[in-house]
């Protein structure tokens, strides 16, 4: 199956029955994509992929589960896009996933010798690959989890419209948490639910609501100060309705896209120190640091200043960090370091 994403960018998907069945079984049994790595490393891929490799000038592997495929195309520039350190995610996963953490650590440790170069998304990831690097030619450029800022602009009237849809007035304070069903997000969502339960009286008295957006919850519901949307077609309208973006994530690897989304939407950020990893944000100056244990105190500090103050502060943070959030700038800076892209 082939589909156009935008001009000069198309996606071709061809699992075939073998790949499809194996993927479905592995997901059902909670196995990481070890099978995929083994098949690709042995050249067991569809003919259409081999044809695409033959025609390509440069090859990008998305995640280390997609190793270079044996064949004449192996001599072409072949880059790894590392979204995070996969072995760290496996270490934090289920008992079944933890069994493969050492295997993945070896795969990622060998990556500097396997690929032409590696795009890392955070300094921690880059440091890991650098510690296993024996080649002076490796640049290891960083491409943070940036966003297209144009997608996060909205009309002034959208705020009131969305608040009306949510049954909220402009006087209510709304903190938004966006996330997928990724395990670290699920953990953070659990902390949010417990906070809303334990501090129900405080939240009601202060007119503070926590809005949880995305597939981190499969279903929508509302319980006191907690408003959960479930999966939504787009997050920007919910950002428009919010006064700040919150991130209680405390584990994982790589960086959290939600932070870059909050910044692009000009939302003040309330986050754990772990939640802003992979950014250059400074505590207090650029975001309000918090933890599940002091979230009430941080919220009190936030609502203690008016919205105009926080909006101006968010604009200032965006002005200082825009280049580190704009995915176009990040990609341009990264590929400018690599000879294959400049030729």
Instruction: Determine the pLDDT at residue 2.
Output: 75
CA distance 93 to 174: 32
Digit-by-digit pLDDT tens for the chain (343 residues) are 778 887 888 888 776 777 788 888 888 888 899 999 999 999 998 888 999 999 999 999 999 999 999 999 999 999 999 988 999 999 998 899 999 999 999 999 999 999 999 999 888 899 999 999 988 889 999 888 889 999 999 998 999 999 999 999 999 999 999 999 988 999 999 999 999 999 999 999 999 999 999 999 999 999 999 999 999 999 999 999 999 999 999 998 878 999 999 999 999 999 999 999 889 999 999 999 999 899 999 999 999 999 999 999 999 999 999 999 999 999 999 999 898 886 5
| Residue 221 confidence (pLDDT) | 97
Closest CA to 289 of 297, 301, 298: 298
pLDDT computed for residue 284 by the predictor? 94
Residues whose CB is less than 8 angstroms from the CB of residue 201 and which lie 6 or more positions away in sequence, other chains included? none
The model's pTM is: 0.86
Look up the CATH superfamily of 149-325.
Glycogen Phosphorylase B; (3.40.50.2000)
Q: Which two tokens stand for residue 266?
A: 């000009």
Pairing of strands 244-247, 269-271: parallel
What backbone torsions phi and psi does residue 119 show, to the nearest 5 degrees? -90, 115
Q: What is the 3-state secondary structure (H, E, C) of 228-266?
A: ECCCCCCCHHHHHCCCEEEECCCCCCCCCHHHHHHHHCC
Spatial separation of the C-alpha atoms in residues 122 and 115, rounded to whole Å: 18
List the domain boundaries for the chain.
2-146+328-342, 149-325
How many CB atoms sit inside 10 A of residue 21's CB? 11
Residue 203: name the closest of 218, 222, 185 by CA: 222
């Amino acid at each position: 199956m082939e589909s156009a994403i935008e001009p000069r960018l198309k996606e071709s998907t061809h699992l075939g029955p073998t790949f499809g069945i194996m993927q479905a079984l592995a997901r059902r049994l909670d196995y990481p994509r070890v099978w995929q790595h083994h098949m690709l490393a042995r050249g067991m891929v569809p003919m259409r992929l081999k044809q695409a490799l033959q025609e390509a000038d440069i090859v990008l592997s998305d995640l280390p589960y997609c190793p270079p495929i044996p064949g004449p195309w192996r001599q072409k520039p072949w880059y790894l896009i590392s979204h995070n350190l996969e072995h760290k995610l496996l270490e934090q996963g289920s008992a079944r996933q933890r069994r493969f953490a050492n295997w993945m650590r070896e795969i990622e440790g060998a990556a500097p010798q396997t690929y032409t170069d590696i795009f890392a998304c955070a300094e921690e990831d880059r440091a890991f690959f650098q510690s296993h690097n024996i080649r002076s030619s490796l640049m290891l450029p960083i491409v943070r989890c940036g966003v297209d800022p144009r997608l996060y602009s909205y009309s002034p009237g959208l705020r009131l419209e969305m608040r009306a849809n949510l049954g909220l007035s402009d006087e209510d304070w709304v903190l938004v948490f966006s996330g997928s069903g990724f395990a670290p997000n699920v953990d953070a969502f659990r902390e949010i639910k417990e906070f809303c339960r334990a501090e129900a009286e405080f939240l009601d008295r202060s007119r503070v609501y926590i809005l949880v957006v995305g597939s981190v919850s499969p279903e929508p519901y509302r319980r006191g100060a907690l408003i959960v949307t479930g999966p939504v077609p787009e997050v920007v309208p919910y950002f428009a309705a919010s006064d700040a973006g919150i991130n209680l994530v405390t584990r994982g690897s790589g960086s959290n896209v939600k932070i870059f989304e909050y910044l692009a939407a000009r939302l003040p950020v309330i986050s754990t120190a772990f939640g802003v990893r992979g950014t250059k944000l400074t505590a207090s100056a650029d975001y309000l640091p918090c933890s599940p244990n002091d979230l009430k105190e941080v919220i009190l500090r936030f609502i203690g200043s008016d919205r105009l103050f926080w909006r101006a502060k968010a604009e200032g943070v965006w002005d200082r960090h825009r280049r580190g959030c704009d995915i176009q700038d990040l990609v341009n800076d990264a590929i400018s370091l690599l000879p294959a892209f400049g030729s």
